[in-house]
Structure 1
Amino acid sequence: MGTTPGPVMPITPGRAPLPAARRPRDAERTRAQLLAVATARFARNGYATTTVRDIADEAGVNVALISRYFTSKEGLFEACLAAAVTEIRRDSDDTPLDRLAAALTRRIACPDRDGRLPERFLLLLRTSGDQHTEDMRLGVLRSISERMAAAGPGDNSALLRAQIVLSAALGIILMRGSLGLQPLAGATEQDLAAPVSDLVNALCAKGRTS
C-alpha cells in the first residue's frame, strides 16, 4: 500500500533559504574579556606600546568593539585601572597592622588568575599620558599608602613610611616578573613572609611601643 505524499512547499524563485538565527553576543562577557586582556598587556608592556589591535586580536573580537564599550584606548586603560582600584581597595580595606605584612606577602607572592603576575598592582606603575587617568592612578597609590599609614601608630612620618613600604612591595613584584632575579624571583610566600614582616614592622610599626 503506497503512502500519500505530503504537501509540496512552493519555492520562490531567487530567494535563498533563511539563515540560521545568530546567537546574540554576550556583551558583558566580551567587555570582561577585553578588560582582562588589556590589563595584562598594559601591565606587561606599558600603555604606549600596547595597541587596541593587539588587545582585540588576543581577545578574539573585532577592534571596533573597544570603541563601542570603552570609547578609546584611554577609556579602556581607565576602565582597567578602575577595576584594579576596586579589587585592590577591597583587599586592603581595614587591614590591621598585625595582618598587613601577611596581606602584602600574599599579594606579592601569589599570581593572578591564569598564573600571571599580580597585574593589577603592576598597572599602577604604568603611565598613560592622559592627565585624568594619571590623577586617578596617583590617587590610588596615595589611597593605598594612606590606608597602610592608618594601620600604624599615626605619627607625623607615618604616610612617608607607608609609601616606602608600598614602593618596596611594587618593586618586588616588578623584579620578580620582569627581571627574574634570583632568589627573589623564585621565593615562595613562606620565603617572603619574614623579610616583608621585618620591613613592615621596622617602618609602619615605628613609634607604637615608644
Structure 2
Amino acid sequence: MTATPARRRDAAKTRALLLQTARRRFAQHGYSTTTLRDIADEAGVNVALIARYFESKEGLFEACLTAAVDEIKRETGDVPLSEIHLIIADQASRIGSQDPPSQLMLLLRSSGDERADEIRRGVLRTSAERLAAAAGHRPGDDETLLRAQMVLAASLGIVLLRSVGAMEPLQSAGRDDLAGPLRDLIAALLPARP
C-alpha cells in the first residue's frame, strides 16, 4: 500500500483567502467580536496559519486595511475632482448588494483596540488628504482640508445609513440617483479653484 502524498498548500492563495474572509468578518461583525478561530474556520484552514502569515489579529486587521486602501486607490487612481462623486456613488450604491465594498465598512467599524483604531484613523486621514489634494490643497490650507474631511464624513454617513437600512429613498437609491446630489455636495464644499 502506497502512502498518499501530503497535499501542499498554496501560500499565496491561503493568504488571500484569509484576507478575504477576515475583511468580510471584520466589516460585518467588527474587530473586537471577530476571533481568529472564526476566520480560520470559515476559511477552512488551521488557525496557526494566521500567525504564520500575519503574526497576530492586529497584523491581520492591518493587512485588511492596507488591502482596502490599495483597492480604493486602484478604483480611484488619480481621479480628477470633477469625477470623485461618481466613485463615491459607485461605492455607496454597492452597500446592501451581494458583494458590498467591505473596505468602506472596515473604515466605519470601531475596533475597541487602540492600535487597530489608530490604523483606521490613519487611513481616514490619508483619504481626506488625497481628496483635499485633488481640490488643490496646499500646506497650511486648513479650510480645504476641513472641507475634504466633511465630504469624507458625508460619504461615510451615506454608507453607514445604507448599511443599516435606515431610511428611504436613500436605501434603494442607485448609483445614478446618488451621483447628482454627491456632485452638488462636493461642488459646494470643494469648489474648483481657478
CA distance in 1, matches of 2:101, 2:160: 9
Which structure would you say has the larger RCO, counting Cα contacts within 8 Å and 6 or more residues apart? 2
SS in 1 for 2:164: helix
Specify the alignment match of 1:141 in structure 2: 124
Equivalent of residue 184 in structure 1, options 170, 174, 191? 170
Q: Which moved more, 1:43-52 or 1:133-142?
A: 133-142
CA distance in 2, matches of 1:176, 1:130: 25
CA contact (8 A) 2:95 2:159 kept: no
Equivalent of residue 151 in structure 1, options 103, 123, 134? 134
Specify the alignment match of 2:185 in structure 1: 199
Specify the alignment match of 2:99 in structure 1: 116
Equivalent of residue 55 in structure 2, options 71, 82, 92? 71
Q: Give yes or no for the alignment of 1:61 onto 2:45.
A: yes
SS in 1 for 2:187: helix
- What TM-score, normalized to structure 2? 0.88
Q: Percent identity?
A: 51
Deviation by residue 1:86-115 (Cα, 9 ceiling, x = unmatched)? 122233332211111112111211369x82
CA contact (8 A) 2:58 2:115 kept: no
In 2 relative to 1, CA 180–116 (structure 1 residues): closer, same or farther, beyond 3 Å?
Answer: farther
- What TM-score, normalized to structure 1? 0.82
Amino acid of the structure 1 residue aligned with 2:21: V
Specify the alignment match of 1:11 in structure 2: none
Indicate the structure (1 or 2) with the bigger Cα radius of gyration: 1
Amino acid of the structure 2 residue aligned with 1:149: A
For structure 2, the 5+ residue unaligned runs are: none
CA contact (8 A) 2:85 2:182 kept: yes
CA distance in 2, matches of 1:44, 1:174: 12
For structure 1, the 5+ residue unaligned runs are: 1-16
CA distance in 2, matches of 1:107, 1:137: 18
CA distance in 2, matches of 1:151, 1:75: 31
Amino acid of the structure 2 residue aligned with 1:105: A
Deviation by residue 1:10-51 (Cα, 9 ceiling, x = unmatched)? xxxxxxx22221221111111111100100110111101111
Alpha carbon RMSD of aligned pairs, Å? 2.1
Equivalent of residue 173 in structure 1, options 121, 146, 159? 159
Specify the alignment match of 1:100 in structure 2: 84
